[in-house]
Structure 1
Amino acid sequence: MRIAILTDSSWGGNPHDYRDLYVVPLMMTDENGQEILDNKLSKNEFYKLLDEQKLKTALTPPGIMLAMWDKLLIDYDQVIFAGISKGLSSQFNTYRVVSETEDKYKGKVFVVDTNGVSVVLEHEIEKIVLWTAKNKNGFEVMELMAKENQDFCAFIIPKSLETLKRGGRITPTAAAMAKVLKIVPILRYDGTIDKEGTARTFKRAINEALSLIRKNCKNVTHIDLAYSESPEVVINLVRDLIAKEGFKINLYRHLPYVIAAHTGRETFALVAWKNKGDK
């Protein structure tokens, strides 16, 4: 049986690293209502737009997604779609319904519940590649992922609150107070993004996130690091703090636009895998 694996641009990897892996773009909308496929933006174009406007993100347009399914089903027996977490987008719920109600996709297209994005989704795609190599079919992959899609602990630290303020996720007054008091939020990611705590200064926030990872992910030695556009000095600071805590960096990636659009520049995500040791 030939199986194609499909993901979306919330994944941070290189599709050329895997055979039979394909990627569809997510959508962005600017303040003028202009819709932009995120794979059409260069890094410089994206951050220039982000600096100037509040951006909204949306699921892959149905015309693009279904055209990709139809195209892949010409050459493959099944398609496994593993995209952005259902807690961050309507992508999963929308296309799970389509795959299970449209006759031509029933038993052929399987929409997997990943809880993933960025480096989390990278690990999950790697697992799916390994499972399909062992002749697991779409039904089996859905069941396997449902058992493993919470096997990580992740924390997101935005150094600047400007984008969060512009997007209405923090009030201007709270942002101003945080700036004066040098308060930095620590966000927990578990498929959704929620507040975990705060720290005085960015450095302390990183160290607190590392402590939380050590507490919640026993015996972990490696951490995945994803980050939005940042000065080299800030990136090196984060890398040094990780090293001082005795961790090694495994995956090292830019955050996908779909996350950076909401958190802004100088955002860092630290991810480890539970009970996985040297993952």
Structure 2
Amino acid sequence: MIHIITDTGSDLPKQLSDEYNISMIPLVVQINNEEYLDRSNIEPKQLYTYMKDGAVPKTAQVPPALIKETLTSYAKNGQPAIYITLSSGISGTYQTAVLMKNEVLEEYPDAQIEVFDSQAASLGYGLMVYEAAKEAKEGKALNEIMNTLQHYQKHLESIFTVDDLEYLLRGGRVSKTAAVMGTLLKIKPVLHMEDGKLFPLEKLRGKKKVLGRMVELMKERAESLDDITIGISHADDTETAQALKELIIEETGNRNILITMIGCAIGAHAGPGTIALFFLNTPKKVY
């Protein structure tokens, strides 16, 4: 069976990674000059507590040696594996993984190891990982799973909003003036992923309007919402995530909705209160 590997930026719920035996490589976050491994020796809720207390966390790539060690463990046992990474548009993890894969192949030239750039973040590529793991468990071939991943990469929609523009200001996503005025006027941006990078889409006043607009955008962009898994991730805001879920059910009838907390890798940049919505704009093809 093909083994699926990902990193903690995928925010895949632990029960799913355990159920499908998915290898999870921890991303690195630095807080108050201390280095932590995401979901290993720090949990997302702890990160958001630090941030609410004024800490300014930074993120770092997975140590190359850890990626190489993981890939080598499958190569030397002759087990095919696919590593699905955080978008290369916002992280260097994909490029590092490709370099490590090439080093592994020098030692094990017959190994079947693939590294796939999700061009997504958080549960966006968590849904890709989940689908790939289901297909691997069904016994599908490596090329079939890669085709599915390419379909997700092309058709996945990712829509975000943040609770506090200050965190986007720190990351250079908005100007200081926009952040100050946005905070005063309670303006909340709606952003989306395009070509693996995050871009502003609209600005609205009030959380309720933002959630309504996120659902409107989903209905506008999706061919069909009947046969897909919809993902919601949140940065320590279960109440709003649940409100979004209920709105989606009310507006679309789709109850196949997965909710998870945004991990340290994405949360360090987006900040507490971030809400993200993920869905395919066209149903998965059957190959």
Q: Which residue of 2 aligns with 1:36?
A: 36
Q: How does 1:2-17 map to 2 (within 5 A)?
A: 2-11=1-10, 12-14=12-14, 15-17=17-19
**Stretch of structure 1 that moved more, 207-216 or 238-247:** 238-247
Superposed CA offset, 1:29-48 (max 9, x none) = 2353x332112102342122
Q: Which residue of 2 aligns with 1:183?
A: 187
Q: Which residue of 2 aligns with 1:229?
A: 236
Q: How does 1:65-104 map to 2 (within 5 A)?
A: 65-100=67-102, 102-104=105-107
Superposed CA offset, 1:24-65 (max 9, x none) = 100112353x33211210234212222322222222111211
Residue-pair matches, total: 272
Q: Return the match for 1:242 from 248, 253, 257.
A: 248
Q: Structure 1, unaligned stretches of length 5 or more?
A: none
TM value normalised by structure 1: 0.86
Distance in structure 1 (CA, Å) of the matches to 2:47 and 2:59: 13
Distance in structure 2 (CA, Å) of the matches to 1:236 and 1:117: 20
Superposition deviation, residue 247 in structure 1: 4.6
Question: RMSD value over aligned CA atoms?
Answer: 2.4
Q: Structure 2, unaligned stretches of length 5 or more?
A: none
Distance in structure 2 (CA, Å) of the matches to 1:186 and 1:169: 12
Is the 2:159–2:278 contact (alpha carbons within 8 Å) kept by the matching residues of 1?
A: yes
**Stretch of structure 1 that moved more, 36-45 or 237-246:** 237-246
Identity of aligned residues (%): 22
Distance in structure 2 (CA, Å) of the matches to 1:142 and 1:248: 27
Distance in structure 1 (CA, Å) of the matches to 2:18 and 2:241: 27
Q: How does 1:241-260 map to 2 (within 5 A)?
A: 241-249=247-255, 250-260=257-267
Superposed CA offset, 1:155-186 (max 9, x none) = 10112223223444333332221122221100
1:204 aligns with 2:209: yes
Counterparts in 2 of 1:204 and 1:61: CA distance versus 1, 3 Å: same
Superposition deviation, residue 243 in structure 1: 3.7
Instruction: Using CA pairs under 8 Å that are at least 6 residues apart, name the structure with larger relative contact order, 1 or 2.
Output: 2
Counterparts in 2 of 1:215 and 1:44: CA distance versus 1, 3 Å: closer
TM value normalised by structure 2: 0.84
